[in-house]
Structure 1
Amino acid sequence: MITGLVVELTKLTHAAVARVTGVLIVLGISLICSAMLLAVDTDDPQLAAKLGPLIDPGGWVGYLTVAIQVTGAAGLIGYGVVLSWLFSREFADGTITGLFAIPLSRRTLATAKLTVYLMWGLVTALALVLALILLGLAGGLGPIPPDAAPAIGRLLGLSILNLVIATPAAWAATVGRSVLAGIGTTLAIVVASQVSVIAGTGGWFPFAAPALWAISTGITVTPAQLALVAPVAALAITLTLRSWHHLQLDR
């Protein structure tokens, strides 16, 4: 297992996909929120209306609320892209045949991929929070008040939940043997989440519940609804490991 972790970690750290996606998640979301923060002092009523939480309640809480809204979709897509690449690159690069000749089982390799992905995702989530805090300070928001601490916690929690709920992309990329299959599944999840929210059933849709929980401060999503994330992720991981265990070269 340790050998598999070292190999997969080496692949990930040298992969442009992981580096670029990490930068887009961390700096992309941070810079978008910071740019909106700079536009707060405006006399344009239409622009003020679009800025939403940055105007009311404003300050750190409004800034972090906007960050949560952006992270809800952008973070999930970013995690899905990296996960899809991790589980499809062997097919794209033609190295899948070599995996049948090494002493490590394919299930162990898949477990190593998931572990490395979670490690990368946690680092990315923490970096995003740090970048938002630094840019918020640079943007003139001043010291972080106590009432902003829950928003920081929800932002970090949302990133971690997105990290977990993106796991169906791994199974899709394995079954489809293509990075597009995984990314397509991730985009379908994002679209379905938006539809469920519009329909008023987002709390019971595990892929939409984390973002709703983070945005609404937990009011519109119950613990039971949020807990549905766990069995969905567990099922996706189980199917992924099973697919790698039964992987064949004749298709």
Structure 2
Amino acid sequence: MSRGVAPSSSPARGVWWRAALAAEGRKARASRTLQGTGLLLAVGVAVLSATTLAAVRSGRADLTAKLGLTDAVADWSTMLSGATQVTAAASVLAAGVALSWTVGRELAEGTVAGLFALPVGRGTTVAAKLVVHLVWATLTALAVAGLVLLAGLVLGLGLPDAAATGALLRIAALVVLSALVVQPVAWAATLGRGLLPGIAVTVGVLVVAQVCALAGVGTWVPFVAPAAWALEAGPAGPLATVPVAALVFAAATVRSWQRLELVA
């Protein structure tokens, strides 16, 4: 087994960092997995939120009761409440799948071996992957908020007021925060050398979040804080735990890639 060529310690590190970002950016732009995952999330949230509004307008008491919207009226507040509920879970799943692919694909396919001969360090490469994943999440967040806005306009709700605009911004922020929440997925995909371990951890994050929320202890748990903040429009203080936890797992992932060895 071999640890490969050590990265250069020269001032050219900035050049290698830009090269890594450019390479990972090209991979992301060419990836149908990332494109499809982002599109499914954006379209799915818009369609389901529109369905929520339609259920309220139709007077279907059975449906509105299941959605917790018994006394709701067909307005922006109702539609965005449904959109936020869907986004809270769906964005974690989408971000986890996307991150598992971004980090685990090369490990699963064995093409990671080619990285050992490059002057760009493997830690730099995976750090670039994590940055590209956040860029993907930001673009997806804009798509989600934009399609929900478009759906509301098409359904005749008119331009959103200040409260509705704030809710739309929280939905967009929730998608980006979900990308931070699933950082353990990158570490799992690295240790498990593939996509499935990362996807399994994504499901685990969702389960832990649900259990903590039901137990009423989730406010300061990083996996729960974003959804609790978005759904309840509560204080933003607990969100501080999210980037801290994300940095810890991102550092663990980078360290694991630096210590990565070829398996004979």
TM-score (norm 2): 0.89
- 1:117-154 alpha-carbon deviations (Å, 9 max, x no partner): 11111000011100100011001112212221221221
Give runs of ≥4 in structure 1 deviating > 4 Å.
Answer: none
**Is residue 115–residue 122 contact of structure 2 (8 Å, CA) maintained in 1?**
yes
Q: Alignment length, in residue pairs?
A: 248
Q: In 2, Cα distance between the equivalents of 1:213 and 1:66?
A: 15
Q: 1:60 aligns with which of 76, 84, 104?
A: 76
Partner of 1:244: 257
- TM-superposed CA distance for 1:55, in Å, is 5.2
Q: In 2, Cα distance between the equivalents of 1:107 and 1:91?
A: 14
**Is residue 54–residue 62 contact of structure 1 (8 Å, CA) maintained in 2?**
no
Whether 1:230 aligns to 2:243 is yes
- TM-superposed CA distance for 1:185, in Å, is 0.4
Whether 1:182 aligns to 2:198 is yes
**Is residue 53–residue 63 contact of structure 1 (8 Å, CA) maintained in 2?**
no
Partner of 1:207: 223
**Is residue 55–residue 62 contact of structure 1 (8 Å, CA) maintained in 2?**
no
- TM-superposed CA distance for 1:58, in Å, is 4.2
Larger Rg: 2
Alignment of 1:85-234 (within 5 A): 85-218=101-234, 222-234=235-247
Partner of 2:11: none
- 1:47-84 alpha-carbon deviations (Å, 9 max, x no partner): 23234348525411121111111111100110010100
Alignment of 1:13-92 (within 5 A): 13-53=29-69, 56=72, 58-92=74-108
- TM-superposed CA distance for 1:42, in Å, is 2.1
For structure 1, the 5+ residue unaligned runs are none
**Is residue 57–residue 73 contact of structure 2 (8 Å, CA) maintained in 1?**
no
Whether 1:6 aligns to 2:19 is no
- TM-superposed CA distance for 1:159, in Å, is 1.4
**Is residue 189–residue 198 contact of structure 2 (8 Å, CA) maintained in 1?**
yes
- TM-superposed CA distance for 1:40, in Å, is 2.0
Change in Cα spacing, 1:23 to 1:209, as seen in structure 2 (3 Å) is same
Q: In 2, Cα distance between the equivalents of 1:62 and 1:189?
A: 27
Q: In 2, Cα distance between the equivalents of 1:158 and 1:118?
A: 12
**Is residue 189–residue 207 contact of structure 1 (8 Å, CA) maintained in 2?**
yes
- 1:143-197 alpha-carbon deviations (Å, 9 max, x no partner): 2122212212211221121111111111110011110100100110100100001
TM-score (norm 1): 0.94
Q: In 2, Cα distance between the equivalents of 1:121 and 1:154?
A: 14
- TM-superposed CA distance for 1:245, in Å, is 0.7
**Is residue 53–residue 78 contact of structure 2 (8 Å, CA) maintained in 1?**
no
- 1:206-235 alpha-carbon deviations (Å, 9 max, x no partner): 1011101110011xxx44422111211110
Specify the code of the residue in structure 1 equivalent to 2:261.
Answer: Q
Q: In 1, Cα distance between the equivalents of 2:24 and 2:169?
A: 30
Identity %: 40
